[in-house]
């Protein structure tokens, strides 16, 4: 069983302060993005096309826009051009095409970042938070660094500490990120690509052997404090954290 403990006061304050406009002609994508951002304690509003996006932007004055490029009639690039005439609001582009020209044009128009579909909701939230931190440096982001307990495993993100029972386990920053990511869904099997997204920044690719090496080092460190199966191999699929 997994337990999380957190003070939600800052999350509530942040939720009142920051609002994200989600623009995509695909209702499913809007739902996925809205759910991920709202789970991270942000408010969202939605628009299904470019015209509605400009109207929502004018009336709501959002703090950031998650904007799909490939929309019919008025695409995301045109929306960005119009908004940039009057505002420097941060914009994260979404696109179903991983083409360099889209990224270049988007960034030249003033976009702050670019994410290709299909994307991980976790990665999207991380990029949104990163952009907001740069844009609004004096505003605290939601306090999602709560303590996690999975069986005898305790993770304290604020202090960057990990314990097995009463024994502290010293992990590297990459090992810590990997373990913390897996702890949010114990007993779920993660493939190596998913584990890589937990441990590394976006756009950084490493080999399967590197991921296996991180897992091996984590196991060795936990074994030293009496835990032989903190992470289990599921052959042909990936790894899971035991609860």
pLDDT in tens, 178-209: 998 898 887 789 998 888 887 776 555 667 78
H-only helix segments in the chain? 9-17, 27-39, 50-60, 76-84, 100-109, 121-135, 173-183, 192-199, 208-223
Q: What is the mean pLDDT of the chain?
A: 83
How many CB atoms are located within 10 Å of the residue 133 CB? Answer: 12
pTM (2 d.p.): 0.54
Output the pLDDT for position 100.
66
Output the pLDDT for position 9.
39
Contacts of 99 (CB under 8 A, 6+ apart): none
How many CB atoms are located within 10 Å of the residue 211 CB? Answer: 23
C-alpha 151/C-alpha 165 separation (Å) is 9
Give the domains, in start order, of the chain with CATH numbers. Answer: 7-135 (3.40.50.2300), 147-241 (1.10.10.10)
* 3 alpha carbon, distance to own chain's centre: 20
* Residue showing tokens 């024994």: 167
- Residues of the chain with confidence (pLDDT) below 70: 1-17, 98-103, 138-146, 201-206, 243
């Amino acid at each position: 069983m997994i337990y999380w403990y957190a003070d939600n006061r800052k999350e509530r304050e942040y939720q009142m302060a920051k609002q994200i406009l989600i623009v995509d002609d695909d209702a499913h994508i809007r739902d996925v993005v809205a759910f991920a951002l709202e789970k991270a304690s942000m408010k969202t509003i939605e628009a299904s096309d470019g015209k509605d996006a400009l109207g929502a932007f004018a009336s709501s004055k959002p703090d950031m826009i998650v904007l799909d490029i490939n929309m019919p009639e008025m695409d995301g690039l045109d929306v960005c051009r119009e908004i940039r005439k009057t505002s420097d609001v941060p914009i994260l582009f979404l696109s179903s095409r991983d083409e360099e020209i889209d990224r270049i044009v988007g960034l030249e128009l003033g976009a702050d970042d670019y994410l290709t579909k299909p994307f991980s909701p976790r990665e999207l939230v991380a990029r949104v938070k990163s952009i907001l931190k740069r844009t609004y440096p004096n505003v605290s982001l939601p306090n999602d660094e709560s303590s996690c307990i999975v069986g005898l495993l305790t993770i304290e993100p604020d202090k960057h500490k990990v314990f097995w029972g009463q024994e502290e386990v010293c992990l590297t920053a990459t090992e810590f990120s990997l373990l913390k990511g897996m702890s949010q869904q114990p007993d779920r099997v993660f493939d190596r690509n998913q584990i890589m997204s937990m441990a590394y920044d976006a756009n950084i690719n490493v080999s399967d052997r590197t991921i296996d090496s991180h897992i091996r080092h984590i196991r060795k460190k936990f074994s030293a404090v009496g835990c032989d199966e903190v992470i289990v191999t599921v052959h042909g699929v990936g790894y899971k954290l035991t609860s």
